[in-house]
A and B are shown apart, each in its own frame.
Chain A
Amino acid sequence: MLHDSKSRDDLDILKNKINDISAFFEKTLFSTDKRPLVGWFCTYTPEELIVAGGFIPVRIFGRKKIIKSESYFPINFCPYIKSSWESLLSGADNLKAVIFTNSCDGMRRFFDTANKYLKDTPSYLLDVPHLRGVDSIDFFANNLNNMKRFIENLNGKKISNKEIKNAIILINKKRKLLKKYSQISTKLPELISISSYFKVMELSMISAPEIFTDDLERYIKFIREADTENMTNLQPNYENTPGIMIIGNFITEEKLWGMLSTMNLKLASDDLCISSRYFEKQIELGDDSDFLNLTAERYLNKPQCMRMADLGLKLKEIENNIIKNNIEGVIFISLKFCDTMLYSFPLLKQKLNDLGIPALYLEIEYNNFSEGQLKTRVQAFLEML
């Protein structure tokens, strides 16, 4: 069966089709939705409130080359921040407002910079606690209320409880579909490339959520149907490939994903702020109608970012995923100069040593990817496994 050439051809055709993301997400990409955009950076920002206010939440990816930004920040400063600043300065994203969080020292200074030098675009900083107890949830809910007021002031319209609830239902649906898609991708590494997987993740954060969820639903349905035709048993290249987990921060380098897609790397789990840390955990809607509190609860209890206080809990989350997904190797990728990530590595490395899991440590620039050396290192790592 595996060497049946007809099946292989069919598989190739199917593979090309599934990885043609622009075809499946045409409506998303060419959206006619004219609602104004509100930018955000960090996965602790509840998009729900932005949607409830009548805006489209758009994560700022900062794809701009860093030029002017250099004169605002030091050399050894988060390249994601610098390149996002470049894009805010250029006005390219056409944003009605920008929501920052106090995720890290860099972000706090980024907010100050935007506040001082970008006078025409209102900006807001959402204070996210580092702790997760009941008091922190209450405190965070109060901050969400302040953020809500900021959004209301943007268009002079009050946000109703019903609007928040509808937005929660919508974003919950998006998260649920993304999780499903992530599970399918893990199961079908030959069919869904790493590039496609992360492309879909990116689209989920920069598009009108209603249109995107429709497209994603159809896309998943298509893959599922292909699966029932049993095409997916054909994964010869990945049969004995060890499962890899990628742990990182804001890693959105298309060329990196492209490179990994060509390397027979089986991505069996990820812990990144552009994937699992974004879509895991729903807002539990029950009888409680204190939606801000429920939202606060979800955001503080979602899979943690390294910025949170309890690094031990983060390590536990990673360990659970390693065991659950039979991970045999970890690739740790950090953007340069990201303190919270860099400080997590000494303990993570210890933990991985205890578990007997080899790790590859990579630090990268942003929008400035050079494949050469990196490819050799990843190759050597995979061979070692």
Chain B
Amino acid sequence: MGIKDKLKTGVQRNLNQKYIRRLLDIIAKKPVLFAYGSTFSSLSDKYLNIFTIKSLRNAYTDNNHPVGYGSLFLPYEMFHALGITPFLPEVMAGFTAGLGLATQTLKEASSNWYSQDLCTFHRSASGAVELDVFPKPDFVITTNLACDAAQKSFYIHSVKYNIEKNFYLIDVPYEYSKESILYLTGQIKNICMDISSKSGIKLATSKFKEVISLSNEFRKWAIKVNNLRKTLTNYPPYYNGLNFILPFHGLAGTREAVILYNQMYKELKKYLDKEEKEKSGKNKSLKRILWLHLKPYYKNEIFNILERENCRVVFEEINYIYWPELDPERPFESLAKKMLSHFLAGRIDNRINVILKAARDYKIDGAILFSHWGCRQSNGGARIIKDSLNKLNIPTLVLDGDCVDQNNSSQGQVKTRLQGFVEILNS
């Protein structure tokens, strides 16, 4: 049994904080972490996993820094500037799926009155909170971007830990406007000040500037990666752009994110150079796919099927750099603008624009919208997305499934639908 499988079965058998803490302590030690990292076949995967382990270890075991639960689309630069260790329950819900724990966590959520119609990212995370598997937070910070779920489930977490006073919602306005920037800047600033005074950690301007600069640096490499991918067709084995959710959000503003995206760039560049040299990218019949929304995080066949059918996901909307460069002199305002620029904020047109731009930039032949059960914000726009891509003669598959709950997805049906879609692409 390899180290990854050992980890998996270990956690499955001992689903409790003490065990997880011990495990993270062992694995985060340098030689072990190095050995663990070397089990990954690509450099980007290696760094992703090393940094994830480090970040989790900090959240579980570092008592010197407060822990902040954060929902996915927050500007994590504020966490790093404040010295708060971020912990992202939604991302962790993806891990519960990958580690085969979701059946337990979802069951726990149901017995705590979470309806089965709710998004499983939140249900599974809530189940884990109820089971006491996650580290205890000092602060809970959330936002209405991109959906209603986080602000509600995170509030429940704050009650569970008796820290309602340390619950913050960053309320992102609907339109991008002068007034919205002002309103949002004020909120972010007030929250930072409040957390700083409660935690006793001074919010140093120099630290904030440094974090903002690192975030810009990460952004620069991420854009370079995205640009490379416009022509790249051959990827390192097991590379999947949907795996980098944690660093893309939670590590924005850290050196780790810079290293990871820099390494990713170098690695992909090598592939591209090789491709150009050998003209191996000229796989004429390859179908280029744009992926919309997320993917299942449990073991599944989707990407293998696509690979076998000579289809490749060449871009994922979630990796689109939607925000302008941040201004280190105006950190709060920059973060407000970052949030307001998100394509899932406001009208669906913002998302459609990104999708259509990606369709052109990445010369896609088809799009797959993974219709994750219970995600109203995304699935509610499926018809408009489909119609908009249709106008460009790009077929779209709305693939029903569940990112976290294996039992709410039929592998057989997914396969049939994918094959049907490939036939359309090839016709």
Contacts and interface: CB of A to CB of B under 8 A. Distances in A.
B112 interface: yes
Interface string B172-189: 011100011001001100
Contacts of A349: 113
Interface string B151-184: 1110110010000100001010111000110010
Contacts of A74: 371, 376, 379-380, 382
Interface in B277-328: none
Given A108-B380, A127-B174, A363-B115, 11 more contacts: A108-B377, A109-B348, A112-B380, A112-B384, A130-B144, A130-B151, A312-B159, A339-B119, A340-B148, A343-B149, A346-B126
Contact of A342 (B115, B175, B383): B115
A113 interface: yes
- Report, nearest first, the 10 A-B pairs whose CB atoms are least far apart: A109-B380, A343-B152, A127-B174, A112-B348, A105-B376, A105-B377, A309-B169, A346-B113, A342-B115, A74-B379
B261 interface: no
17 contacts: A74-B371, A74-B376, A77-B379, A77-B380, A78-B376, A102-B174, A105-B376, A108-B174, A108-B377, A116-B387, A125-B174, A130-B151, A131-B187, A307-B148, A309-B155, A339-B119, A343-B118
A333 B374 CA distance: 19
Contacts of A306: 152
Interface string B136-153: 000000001001110111
Given A116-B384, A337-B117, A109 B179 contact: no
B373 to A, nearest CB: 7
Given A312-B159, A347-B159, A73 B373 contact: no
A342 B117 contact: yes
B347 interface: yes
Interface string A352-369: 000000000101000000
A139 B173 contact: yes
B112 A109 contact: no
Interface of B: 112-115, 117-119, 126, 144, 147-149, 151-153, 155-156, 159, 164, 169, 171, 173-175, 179-180, 183, 186-187, 347-349, 371, 373-374, 376-377, 379-384, 387
B117 A76 contact: yes
A385 interface: no
Given A130-B171, A139-B183, A339-B148, A346 B156 contact: yes
Nearest to A142: B179
User: Among B152, B155, B376, B379, which residue has the most Cβ atoms of chain A within 10 A?
Assistant: B376
Contacts of A342: 114-115, 117-118
A188 to B, nearest CB: 35
A337 B376 contact: yes
A102 B380 CA distance: 14
Interface of A: 71-74, 76-78, 102, 104-106, 108-113, 115-116, 125, 127, 129-131, 135-136, 139, 142, 306-307, 309, 311-312, 336-337, 339-340, 342-347, 349-350, 361, 363
Contact of B381 (A104, A112, A129, A340): A112
A150 to B, nearest CB: 13
Contacts of B147: 105, 339
Nearest to B179: A142
Nearest to B164: A312
Contacts of B187: 131, 135
Given A105-B147, A105-B377, A340-B148, A131 B169 contact: yes
A359 to B, nearest CB: 10
B368 to A, nearest CB: 16
Contacts of B169: 130-131, 309
A358 B103 CA distance: 29
Contact of A136 (B149, B151, B171, B384): B171
A76 B387 CA distance: 20
B186 A135 contact: yes
Contacts of A307: 148
A115 B346 CA distance: 13
Nearest to B147: A105
A113 B383 contact: yes
B292 to A, nearest CB: 14
Contacts of A311: 152, 155-156
Nearest to B158: A312
Given A131-B169, A136-B171, A346-B113, A73 B380 contact: yes
A343 B156 contact: yes
Contact of A139 (B164, B179, B349): B179
A106 B155 contact: no
B148 A105 contact: yes
A339 B149 contact: yes
A380 B167 CA distance: 39
Contact of A106 (B117, B144, B380): B380
A127 B173 CA distance: 7
Contacts of A346: 112-114, 126, 156
B298 to A, nearest CB: 20
A135 B381 contact: no
A116 B351 CA distance: 14
Given A336-B117, A343-B118, A344-B152, A105 B175 contact: no
Contact of B175 (A112, A113, A127): A127
A73 B186 CA distance: 36
Nearest to B168: A309
Contacts of B180: 139
Nearest to B159: A347
A350 to B, nearest CB: 8
A306 B151 CA distance: 11
Contacts of B186: 135
Contact of B376 (A109, A136, A350): A109
Contacts of A116: 384, 387
A104 B151 CA distance: 12
A175 to B, nearest CB: 26
A135 B114 contact: no
Contacts of B175: 127
A144 to B, nearest CB: 12
Contact of B383 (A71, A142, A336): A71
B102 to A, nearest CB: 18
A110 B183 CA distance: 26
Contacts of B117: 76, 336-337, 342
Contacts of A71: 383
Given A129-B171, A139-B179, A345 B380 contact: no
A345 B115 contact: yes
